[in-house]
């Protein structure tokens, strides 16, 4: 196994928490790591999950790696009983998708996939689906869908879009789960993007004052 040095951990709360809040907040867990001297970000699960699933994943994977020394934190070995509370605290300190991008440089992207023609006539599968069927989602996003020669579509949704996570969930529900073609698999990705610091830009008010002052110099 590769040696992973965990630098930081982040838990992101999706907008779908407002829809299914009775089940607890819907979360995405991200580890910022260094491997062979290069930084990367890794999602602990393939998609959003509830806290109990997140903690369960930490116990069954990363805590095990910590025991063997394949996972370190800030360059130091750590016991599982000391490591798990770090993620519990991250859950407590969870951030919105927008905060994660602005403050930590972590970008969340959803990819909804399926087969356009096979699903087009499908009626809604869930009572809380805001559309009457798949055709309603096509009408909403058809200009953004890319469709290949075999009829498989991909819809890319930026995590900061207000309806991104909800749309991803509902559209994903229409695909044929028996079809194991990779083009039929909806996914979620996390990536690192530059964080724009306050010092990188002149505030509008300051810029206006500087422009006014220059008129008198």
**What predicted TM-score, i.e. pTM, was given to this entire model?**
0.85
Lowest mean pLDDT among 6-10, 14-18, 45-49, 88-92: 14-18
Residues 124-132: what's their mean pLDDT?
91
Q: Are 30 and 43 in contact (CB under 8 A)?
A: yes
pLDDT beyond 80 at 210: no
Q: Which residue has the higher pLDDT, 183 or 196?
A: 183
Q: In the structure, what pLDDT confidence band is assigned to residue 199 with cuts at 50, 70 and 90?
A: low
Q: In the structure, what pLDDT confidence band is assigned to residue 207 with cuts at 50, 70 and 90?
A: very low
Q: In the structure, what pLDDT confidence band is assigned to residue 215 with cuts at 50, 70 and 90?
A: very low
- % of the chain beyond a pLDDT of 70: 87
Helix (H) or strand (E) segment spanning residue 39: strand 38-43
Query: Where do runs of H (alpha helix) occur along 29-133?
Result: 51-57, 63-68, 80-92, 97-104, 116-119
Residues 70-98: what's their mean pLDDT?
96
Per residue in 40-69, pLDDT tens?
999 999 999 999 999 999 999 999 999 999
Q: Give the pLDDT confidence score for residue 125 in this predicted structure.
A: 87
Other beta carbons within 10 Å of 44: 21
Residues 28-42: what's their mean pLDDT?
96
Q: Give the pLDDT confidence score for residue 16 in this predicted structure.
A: 82
As a whole number of angstroms, the distance between CA 69 and CA 88 comes to 21
- The per-residue pLDDT of the chain, averaged, comes to 89
Q: Are 73 and 87 in contact (CB under 8 A)?
A: no
Closest C-alpha among 147, 87, 144 to residue 117: 147
pLDDT beyond 50 at 141: yes
């Amino acid at each position: 196994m590769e040696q992973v040095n965990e630098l930081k951990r982040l838990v992101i709360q999706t907008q779908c928490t407002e829809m299914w809040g009775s089940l607890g907040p819907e979360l995405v867990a991200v580890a910022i790591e260094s491997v062979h001297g290069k930084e990367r970000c890794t999602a602990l699960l393939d998609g959003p999950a509830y806290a109990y699933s997140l903690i369960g994943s930490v116990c069954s994977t990363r805590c095990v790696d910590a025991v063997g020394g394949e996972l370190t934190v800030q360059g130091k070995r750590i016991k599982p009983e000391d490591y798990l509370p770090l993620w519990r605290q991250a859950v407590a300190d969870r951030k919105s998708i927008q905060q994660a991008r602005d403050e930590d440089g972590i970008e969340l992207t959803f990819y909804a996939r399926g087969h356009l023609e096979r699903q087009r006539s499908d009626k809604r599968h869930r009572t809380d689906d805001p559309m009457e069927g798949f055709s309603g989602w096509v009408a909403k996003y058809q200009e953004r869908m890319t469709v290949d020669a075999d009829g498989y579509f991909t819809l890319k949704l930026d995590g900061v879009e207000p309806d991104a996570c909800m749309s991803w969930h509902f559209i994903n529900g229409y695909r044929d789960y028996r079809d194991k073609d990779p083009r039929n698999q909806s996914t979620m990705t996390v990536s690192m993007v530059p964080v724009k610091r306050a010092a990188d830009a002149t505030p509008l008010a300051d810029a206006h004052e500087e422009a006014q002052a220059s008129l008198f110099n």
